[in-house]
Amino acid sequence: MKQMIYRSQPFGFDQAMLAGILSQARLNNPRDDITGALVCRHDLYLQLIEGPAAAIDALYARIRIDDRHGDVRLLLMDEVDERMFPDWAMLHDEPSSQFWAPGEVAAGALDTASPATLRAAFRSLTEHVQE
């Protein structure tokens, strides 16, 4: 199974745009056997997607040309045995304090983060949601 993390810059981020993206994800991802999580803020989309390699490649190709965001940058791509978000077609995290602050993102913190650090950040989302 393939796991991928990318970041991008929202264009004109608002609740309606986010609702549109999430409804597409929740419709398409179960069909494509994809799960994952999306962190959304005015300055940042950070998404983890995981599933069969062909389905992930196809989704990432669609995402890259989506005009609701730009500067799409791949941060991690790996083969994994286990899903991190088996129960979520697309977990959505509101402005997440436990992630990098906007200033840190602007300074390039995500581009230099190690795979382990990126994964740990997403793993913290699963704990945060399960309560």
Ligand X SMILES: Cc1cc2nc3c(=O)[nH]c(=O)nc-3n(C[C@H](O)[C@H](O)[C@H](O)COP(=O)(O)O)c2cc1C
Which are the contacts of 43, defined by CB distance < 8 A and separation ≥ 6?
A: 9, 10, 102, 105, 106
CB closer to ligand X, 28 vs 96? 28
The string of DSSP codes covering 41-98 is: ETTEEEEEEEE-HHHHHHHHHHHHT-TTEEEEEEEEEEE-SS-S-TT-SSEEE-S-TT
Closest to ligand X by CB, 24 vs 117, is 24
Q: How far is the CB of 128 from ligand X (least distance, A)?
A: 19
Which stretches of the chain bind ligand X, using CB under 6 A?
Answer: 8, 21, 24-25, 28-29, 38, 45, 47, 49, 59, 62-63, 66, 68-69, 90
Q: How far is the CB of 3 from ligand X (least distance, A)?
A: 13
- Between 10 and 113, CB nearer to ligand X: 10
